Amino acid sequence: MRWLFVTFALIVGLCPSADAREPVRARHAMVGAQEPLATDVGVQVLRDGGNAVDAAIAVGFALAVTHPYAGNLGGGGFMLIRFADGRSTFVDFRERAPEKASRDMYLDTSGKPTRESLEGWRSAGVPGTVRGFELAHRKYGSRKWSGLLEPAIALAEHGFQVSYPLAESLKAARNLSQDPESRRIFQNNGAYFAPGDTLTQPELASTLHRIAQNGVKEFYEGETAQKLSDVMSRKGGLITLSDLKNYSAVERTPLTGSYKGYGIIAAPPPSSGGVGILQMLGMLENSGYQKSGFGSAAEIEYVAEVMRRYYADRSQYLGDPDFGKLRLTSLLDPAYIKRRRDTIDPNHATPSSRILPGLPTGRDGGETTHYNVVDAQGNAVAVTFTLNEGYGNGITVPGLGFLLNDEMDDFAAKPGSPNAFGLIQGEANAIQPGKRPLSSMTPTILTRDGKFFMAVGAPGGSRIISAVLQTILNVVDFGMNAQDAVDAPRIHHQWQPDKLYLEPGISPDTVALLQSRGYDVDHSPGLVLARVEAIVNSGGGLQGGSDGRASGKVAGY
């Protein structure tokens, strides 16, 4: 199911080589999400006087209805907030491993990983979305909680028109067809939805209504929690009532750095993305990589080599900070970053077999969706949340109407072996009860001269981090507007497998030159490397870009 995002791009008929489009512009406030109805919900909240956090919560609940591919009540994610007064914070509502989880639970008798981390009731981690939104609302929201859920409740109860991309995606989703409840709700009992049909979700509407009226305890201790834990027990799942009651969202301090005069506010672990963005930008700064021009073989090669080195470090050093001391200070030490940069040969590929996780010294103190909100006061919110693969594990909880995640696959089921996205992960991300799996989600905010400059993020599994990096580079180093920056063709290298992925739109001559320099290139037609959403402060107002690889929407006023 992780390849469904390719289907989305082909359905919409857009690709990185599509004709250039103008960014959406607004003077005061803006919302960008990967489903248009959810964008409209957020804009209305802002128009009605809500702040960016209020709008982000309303958008998230709306996406749980209109974007079942990744929007969710049964998953988790991250919310990065940068306030107009310069403060920033990070709300971690990543799923957690149930109390019954164990290190080797997904290995067969011969010690090989099975697909149980992706399929069936045992693949789900304890959901965090509702708790995360409640934490953000309680501390930083300004509107009534129940009012922020009203649009989502109406969309679920009265339904919404199914778009062509959604109709085709629901039809193609094999994991939905394998679960009776999902097949009934999302595939119309096998008759499938046609574009223009109305999709209603009465069970989900009832669940949302209870959460609106009774608050977050409804999901974690009330009727919803009881029904979820009961069916888990009957079906052999792991999540118990105790798991739900004991789940907590965590507020963390964002990682910060700078690049060419821009401030970078990035996601801390258990996201691996913030470390990646700061480390890779550190390797690129003062390298002059951009002098050969966007899309040149020299530029692509240098960026690919930077990616290769970061993903090697990711494989060993990152995990849940609550379960062990992570070497963040060492990984982001300028001297260490310089040593990594000095190993780059600008004229030849460095085989990944020769790039091991680095040896930092010193002491230390996907499927997914992303959306951005900027309000008229200058507060900015970047949210990435997920079910892991498209539609999660494909299981809809009977009577509750929401899909479950398959986030347990984001742990290292067997440290040193690749997961569903080909990522090799180490002991720091081994399964433990209560632990949060390492994530590639990378909500990021940039500032300039002490003011908001850019909010950016993406879905796309392991490719999120490289896509966010390149979008930042497109704006800062290549002077692109928000729309061009998200639409430009991208590359991806994640150390292992030792392969350079290139989207359509990159010159065949450039591809041939990269191959001659030692790269194993995947230049498959229709290849899509994440789907980015971005909002940029252009000085005279806001401009937004919604990735042409998907069917999202940016709007503002």
Q: Is 253 marked active-site?
A: no
The gap from C-alpha 364 to its chain's centroid, in whole angstroms, comes to 27
**CA–CA separation, 358 and 308 (whole Å):** 12
CA distance 310 to 313: 5
3-class DSSP state of 535: strand
Give which of 382, 367, 477, 495 is closest to 75, Cα–Cα.
367
Dihedral (CA of 399, 402, 403, 409) sign: negative
Catalytic residue, candidates 368, 369, 442, 447: 368
In DSSP terms, 543 is beta-bridged to: 25, 536
Of 7, 484, 83, 404, which is closest to residue 254 (Cα–Cα)? 83
Q: Which tokens in the block code for residue 79?
A: 């919310």
Q: State the CB neighbour count (10 A cutoff) for residue 155.
A: 25
The CA-to-CA distance between both ends of the chain, in Å, stands at 37
Q: What is residue 396's DSSP assignment?
A: B
User: CB neighbours of 291 closer than 8 A, spacing ≥ 6?
Assistant: none
542 close to 535: Cβ distance less than 8 angstroms: yes
Interaxial angle between packed helices 297-317 and 273-284, expressed in degrees from 0 to 180 and rounded to the nearest 10: 140
Counting Cβ atoms within 10 Å, is residue 213 exposed (0-12), middle (13-18) or buried (19+)? exposed
Contacts of 483 (CB under 8 A, 6+ apart): 20, 21, 22, 23, 24, 543, 544, 545, 546
Chain mean position to CA 483? 19
Catalytic residue ranges: 368
